[in-house]
Structures are given as structure tokens and as C-alpha cells.
Amino acid sequence: MVKALILGINGQDGSYLGELLLERGVEVVGWIPSSIPVNLENIQHIIKRIQLVEGSLSDQEAINACIEEHRPDEIYNLASPSSPAASWDSTVEVGDIAGLGVARLLEAIRVVHPAAHYYQASSSELFGNPVDVPQNETTPFQPRNPYGIAKLYAHWLTVRYRQEYGLYGVSGILFNHESPRRGLQFVTRKITHTAAKIKLGLESELHLGNLDARRDWGFARDYTEAMWLMMQQEAAGDFVIGTAETHSVREFCELAFGFLDLDYRDYVVQDPQFYRPLEKRQLIADYSKASKKLGWHPKMKFEELVKLMVDADLDTLQSNR
Ligand code: GDP
């Protein structure tokens, strides 16, 4: 039986990946942080079928002990603070967990269990303000915030451990991926959650920043399928994962409110507090390598994703009333 360790199993991606691996008959060990209060809501439905381990990516001994004890065939590292914008408030912590944490993990694998396959969660944030449009695996990296900078260190370390030590390490450069399990600090979930509240009379306005900002938004569960595929190849490699489409925050609002029979223009207030500097970026994925080598394609269309998120928020709010 294949055994997998998912670091960050309680997050959006970790929980979808946990479901996917269980469906495929994989034994799942989930690592959750010991240092901060942990929300287990995303994994309540599978919690009885997985084994949980608490630890910190700052703790080399704990990482070594976990890998020594479980000797997982596959190790997925999805444990990291996930908000690029918020990373300016925690540069050192983000560097320690998203950057040095990966050094500790790779060292543990090299020393304790070098046969393990390792997945590193990289991000389109590596591209910063991209020089080429669209972006693929050869586009130069120029991250612009502490999150992207820590992720860049982790990305290169994964690549170099593969080349230098022959470890099976892959880096998935994932563009924005959303779902009903996305944190409320991200614009998609902020919109669907607030729109659902407005529909139920629990809120009257939605304050947003730049409505013309565009992103390449996909569905998180589709992206965990790509992670799994990357780990099943003969040779390890790095892959860009996205949809090759961009949409604006405005389009997202229009659809989300539309599904609730509301007009976003009646509720959305543009608020300078949520404007970000340096926003002239065109982030769009060229995932042709993943499509050719992994046979991977995003399954869920943009409209379906917005509808899924709106429906889920409406359902949850209604059942909590
Ligand atoms: P990011 O790609 O990781 O920064 O994902 P976000 O969901 O936080 O932001 C996506 C885009 O939405 C960015 O270009 C933001 O500038 C834009 N945006 C506009 N209004 C808001 C807002 O109120 N909150 C957030 N988080 N983003 C906003």
C-alpha cells in the first residue's frame, strides 16, 4: 500500500489532496502545525481515515522523526502561509516556514529516506511582475514579496537537490486556485461569502480594491490532481499549472452576484484600503508542458467555479441561521 505524508493537510489544497489520495487507496498521514491554533473544518469528513501528526517546520528533529517513523512513499509539502499580500507583516516567519522549512524537509529526506517522492508547492508569485506573457517553466522568476522570495528559495532547493543528490523532487508552479475552502482573505471567497450574506440580508455592502485586477483562477481540486500526476512520473520535473485564461475581479463579482439575482453595482464599494500597489501584472499560465507530459487539463470552467463557491457559501450561511 502506498503511504503519503501531506504537510498542511488541513488547508484548502491539503484537504482536497487527502480526499483524492484516500479515493486511490493511499494511506494518508497528515501533518498539522503544532504552534498555532489549527482549524480542522476542511478535514472533518475524512479525519477518521487519516493519521494526524503535529509538528513545526522549524523543528528539524520533529521532521526527521516523522519521516523516520512513517517512511512515506510520497511527501507533499503544502504547509506554508498562503497570502502573498499578508507576507509583508511576517517576513521572518514566512522565510522560516516557506523557505527554510523546505531546506529542513529536503535534508530529512536526503538523510533519512531518499527514496521518497517529494512535491514542493511553488506558486505563480515566483514570476512577480512577469517579463513574458503567458508564463511557463522557462519564464524568469522575479518575486516581489517575502512570500514569493521564500518560495523561490524553496523552488531552487528542490530543483538542486534533484540534480545534486538524485532525489525525486518536483515543484508545482500553481496559479491561483480557489474553492469553497479558500480563506476569506482572498478576493474570490471574500466576494462569494459577502454576496451570499447580502442575499440573506446579513450584510449590505462589499468593499473591494481594484476591480480591474485580473487573475488566472482555477479550481483547487483539479490542481491536486496535477500534484498527484507529477509524483507518478518516471522522472521528476517542474510544471506550471493554471487555466490559460484570465478574468477580472469585476467579472467575478458580476457572475457571483448574478447567480444570486443581484446586480453587483448596487453593493460593491471601491475602497482605497484594499488597493494594492504594483498591480500592473499579467499573470497567465501556459500549462502546455503539463498537458503534454501529464495529460492534465483543468476540468472546471470559470463560471462553474464561481457558482460552486456562491452555492456553498449560501448553503453554509443558511444552515447556520
Ligand atoms: P493573490 O493573487 O494571492 O494576491 O490573491 P488575492 O485573491 O488576494 O487577490 C487577487 C487580486 O484581487 C489582486 O490583484 C487584488 O489586488 C485584487 N483585489 C481587489 N480587491 C480585493 C480585496 O478586497 N481583497 C483581496 N484579497 N484582493 C483584492
CA distance 53 to 298: 31
CATH number of the domain where residue 78 is located: 3.40.50.720
* 125 in active site: yes
Q: Are residues 188 and 115 in the same domain?
A: no
33 lies in some domain = yes
The C-alpha cell that represents 314 in the structure block:
449560501
Q: Is the CB of 210 under 6 A from ligand 1?
A: yes
CA distance 111 to 56: 19
Q: Is the CB of 26 under 6 A from ligand 1?
A: no
CA distance 163 to 169: 9
The CA 85 to ligand 1 mean position distance, Å, reads 8
CATH number of the domain where residue 271 is located: 3.90.25.10
Identify the pLDDT of residue 231. Answer: 98
CA distance 104 to 7: 13
58 lies in some domain = yes
Q: Are residues 142 and 194 in the same domain?
A: no
pLDDT at 63 over 60: yes
> pLDDT tens digits for 170-223?
999 999 999 999 999 999 999 999 999 999 999 999 999 999 999 999 999 999
The CA 126 to ligand 1 mean position distance, Å, reads 16
Q: Are residues 147 and 196 in the same domain?
A: no
Range of the domain at 258: 184-216+245-282+301-319
pLDDT at 16 over 80: yes
Q: Are 124 and 283 in contact (CB under 8 A)?
A: yes
Q: Is the CB of 192 under 6 A from ligand 1?
A: no
Q: Are residues 19 and 35 in the same domain?
A: yes
> pLDDT tens digits for 241-292?
999 999 999 999 999 999 999 999 999 999 999 998 756 678 999 999 999 9
288 lies in some domain = no
pLDDT at 30 over 60: yes
pLDDT at 61 over 90: yes
* 123 in active site: yes
Q: Are residues 198 and 131 in the same domain?
A: no
CA distance 256 to 265: 12
258 lies in some domain = yes
**Eight-state DSSP code of residue 128:** S
* 56 in active site: no
Higher pLDDT, 84 or 304: 304
77: pLDDT confidence band, cut at 50, 70 and 90? very high
Identify the pLDDT of residue 265. Answer: 98
CA distance 305 to 221: 11
pLDDT at 35 over 80: no
Q: Are residues 131 and 209 in the same domain?
A: no
CA distance 100 to 269: 40
**Sequence-ordered strand ranges (E) for the chain:** 3-7, 27-33, 51-55, 74-77, 117-123, 168-174, 177-178, 206-208, 214-215, 218-219, 239-241, 247-248, 268-270
Q: Is the CB of 186 under 6 A from ligand 1?
A: yes
Identify the pLDDT of residue 278. Answer: 56
Q: Are 56 and 34 in contact (CB under 8 A)?
A: yes
Residue nearest to atom 2 of ligand 1 (CA): 176
211 lies in some domain = yes
User: Once rounded to an integer, what is the mean pLDDT over residues 141-163?
Assistant: 97
Q: Specify the residue for cell string 501531506.
A: 6
User: Once rounded to an integer, what is the mean pLDDT over residues 1-8?
Assistant: 97
Q: Are residues 229 and 162 in the same domain?
A: yes
Q: Are 27 and 2 in contact (CB under 8 A)?
A: yes
313: pLDDT confidence band, cut at 50, 70 and 90? very high
Number of helices and strands in the chain (H, E): 10, 13
CA distance 169 to 310: 36
Q: Are residues 87 and 74 in the same domain?
A: yes
Q: Are residues 82 and 212 in the same domain?
A: no
290 lies in some domain = no
Q: Are residues 30 and 133 in the same domain?
A: yes
Q: Are residues 121 and 42 in the same domain?
A: yes
User: Once rounded to an integer, what is the mean pLDDT over residues 221-247?
Assistant: 98
Per the document, the length of the chain is 321
User: Once rounded to an integer, what is the mean pLDDT over residues 99-115?
Assistant: 98
In 3D, which of 308, 289, 32, 66 has the Cα closest to residue 192? 308
Q: Are residues 261 and 278 in the same domain?
A: yes
295 lies in some domain = no
Phi and psi dihedrals of 79, rounded to 5? -95, 105
User: Once rounded to an integer, what is the mean pLDDT over residues 131-138?
Assistant: 95
End-to-end CA distance of the chain: 44
**Count of domains forming the chain:** 2
CA distance 208 to 84: 17
